Amino acid sequence: MKKYWLVGNWKMHGSLASNATLLNAIRERQPALSPYVDMVLCPAFPYIAQMASLVEGTGIQLGAQNASDHLQGAYTGETSPRMLKELGCGYVIIGHSERRIYQGENDGLMGRKALAAIDAGLIPIICVGETAEERDKSRTHEVLARQLDAAFGYIRTAHDQVIIAYEPIWAIGTGIAATPEIVQTEHAFLRSRVAQRDPSFAARMPIIYGGSVKPGNAASLFSMPDVDGGLIGSAALNAEDFVAIYQSLVKTCESRAD
Ligand code: PEP
């Protein structure tokens, strides 16, 4: 059976005590994971080592929220993807819209970061998505194509593994998720764009959706054929909600024949 992913982005939240409490609450509600749905938690940088020891042996995987586009060197304040790998991360979120907005990250930097992450042995979760204004002006596909093409200028489709996260900026943290129909349309567009470069890579490339996913809308979003999981922000900070979303994804994937 095909694999699916549920990624929790804890953003700049947490403390030593609250991370342990949240993880315990997730584990109490979901003691065993589905072999088909990977659960990935992305805590803030200072807590990666703490979380690595807490998730050991649980099957829960670890990701970071960002990484440098360099593996090593005189880059004060940066974090190498190689260091993240050494600490136990398997994934890293690249190009999240909050980094594009607040840190001025651009498409080219996102591509270089994705490549550095891959070279360090991490799976980059590459975020793409349009603003409300771009959608209103019917520029969604132009924007998605530009962001995707920039990343795929660096990715070697022959052997690299990546996850694409479609995160419309207007849906992030707003409580207004994209409709399942919009999500399916954009995921299919992203897949077809990558298929122009490499059809077999595109067919197996996971595309997850992020933007106000909650227990109440998860099942309908996950039921779309080109949705391979979710990237969860606010609801990932609540064990009950996060586990309900995880279980909804497990149910969907078990009902599919693939
Ligand atoms: C995110 O920040 O990646 C995200 C999806 O946030 P939220 O679930 O809160 O919309």
**CB of residue 97 inside a 6 A radius of ligand 1:** no
How do residues 153-188 score in pLDDT, each as one tens digit?
A: 999 887 889 999 999 999 999 999 999 999 999 999
- pLDDT on residue 158: 77
Given the residues 98, 105, 130, 167, the one annotated as active site: 167
pLDDT higher at 160 or 53: 53
9 is in an annotated binding site: yes
Q: Taking the domain 4-257, which CATH number applies?
A: 3.20.20.70
Of 166, 170, 172, 238, the residue with max ligand 1 atoms within 8 A of its CB, to mutate for a pocket test, comes to 172
Active site residue 167: yes
Residue 59 has pLDDT above 90, yes or no: yes
The per-residue pLDDT for 257 is: 66
- As to burial, measured by CB atoms within 10 angstroms (0-12 exposed, 13-18 middle, 19+ buried), residue 223 is middle
CB contact at 8 A, 218 and 183: no
Average pLDDT over residues 69-88: 98
Question: Residue 78 catalytic?
Answer: no
Distance of alpha carbon 69 from alpha carbon 81, whole angstroms: 8
Classify residue 74 by its DSSP letter: S
Query: How do residues 5-46 score in pLDDT, each as one tens digit?
Result: 999 999 999 999 999 999 999 999 999 999 999 999 999 999
Cα of 103 vs centre of ligand 1, distance in Å, is 17
178 lines ligand 1 (CB under 6 A): no
In angstroms, what CA-CA distances link 143 with 103, 138, 148? 19, 10, 9
Give the number of the atom of ligand 1 that is nearest the alpha carbon of residue 174. 10
Is 213 close to ligand 1, i.e. is its CB under 6 Å away? yes
Q: How far is the CA of 15 from the centre of ligand 1 (A)?
A: 20
Domain ranges of the chain: 4-257
198-221 tens-digit pLDDT? 999 999 999 999 999 999 999 999
Which residues have a Cβ under 8 Å from the Cβ of 143 and sit 6 or more positions away?
A: 128, 129, 130, 131, 134
Percent of the chain whose predicted confidence (pLDDT) is above 90: 95
Q: Which atom of ligand 1 is nearest to the CA of 165?
A: 3
DSSP line for 146-183: HHHHHHHTT--TTT---EEEE--GGGTTTS-PPPHHHH
Mean pLDDT of the chain, nearest integer: 96
- 149, 141 contact by CB (below 8 A): no
pLDDT value of position 122: 97
Q: Is 212 part of any known ligand binding site?
A: yes
**For atom 3 of ligand 1, which residue has the closest CA?**
233
